[in-house]
Structure 1
Amino acid sequence: MSSRGARIAAYAGLAVLGGAVALAGALVQAGWFPLGLLLALAGAVGLFLGGARLTRTKIGAAAPAGGWMLVVVLLTTTRPEGDFLFGTGAGAYVFLFGGMFAAVMCATVVPSGHVLQPDAKRL
């Protein structure tokens, strides 16, 4: 597989992982309210930052954030039966806006691809 193909596959895998983290976070944040919310946001931050560090690009953070956002938006819509997964409590809003804030922050703090080498001339 070419380098470009591997990178595209990595982005697609990160997007799928972002969706899985969103689904798990949506269930955990409401189930164990104060600590579950922190756990859900920590999982999202870990994935976004890990994707950025793995690929050393902003897309590495944006791909899982896009998958996360897609699943969260799909989970917030009501069904024809009137059921929905997110309530109207403060925890759900903190999860939604906290995840969006984490995605933006992790995309802006992308580590550079350059490794600093010590200067051999300075001894």
Structure 2
Amino acid sequence: MAGLTTLRGELRQVPSTRNDVGRTLLDIATGTLLFLAGAATGLVCGFTVAWFAWVEQTGTLGMVLAYAGAASYVVMLFVGCRLGAVGMDGRVGAFLPAAGWILATLAVATFNTGGDVVFGRQIVNYVVLYGGVFVVAAAVITAPIGPRVPRRASGGKDLTTSSGV
């Protein structure tokens, strides 16, 4: 029975070493791209938030547009992190773009004697900054821990049941 292992009573084929190396290299490349995409999003965020702050000062319509844009940005950030988790079958797929976004956003929002580099003191900036940190943390926490266990073709019963039936 070389090459076979059991998972709660079910026989499964163990992948070969060649497939493991290819999968590992693909995971590393995908993870790197997700981190860089998160970092790029964080840099773009810094400059779009400055635009939201400018629009907020133009009146009631501008305020509505600024907050709607900030809210949609935060929602898209959550969705992007969760899609990373789905694509990589685990929390690491949500963590990597979240870490890239946080590091890039904090680099843009570094304090100096005159205030923030890009982020001003408007409330819309704090909505994006703190809302973004909250949603990327929520995306990582709510992401599945590992790959989903496949269901059997016959009957659709879950392999995770203790009796295996």
State the TM-score, normalized to the length of structure 2.
Answer: 0.64
Q: Larger RCO: Structure 1 or Structure 2 (Cα < 8 Å, ≥ 6 residues apart)?
A: 1
RMSD over equivalenced CA pairs, Å? 2.5
Number of residue pairs aligned between Structure 1 and Structure 2: 122
* Greater share of residues in strand: 2
Alignment CA distance shift 1:90-1:116 (3 Å): farther
* Greater share of residues in helix: 1
Structure 1 residues 10-59: Cα deviation after superposition (integer angstroms, max 9, x where no partner) = 11100111012122222333424212212321221121111011111111
> Any gaps of 5 or more consecutive residues in structure 2?
1-20, 53-65, 158-165
Aligned with 1:17 (options 10, 29, 37): 37
Identity of aligned residues (%): 24
Distance 1:90 1:59 in 2: 31
Return the offset for 1:104. Answer: 1.6
1:92 equivalent to 2:112? Answer no
Return the offset for 1:79. Answer: 6.0
Asked which structure has the greater CA Rg, the reply is 2
What amino acid sits opposite 1:114 in the alignment? V
Distance 1:29 1:110 in 2: 27
The match for 1:109 is 142
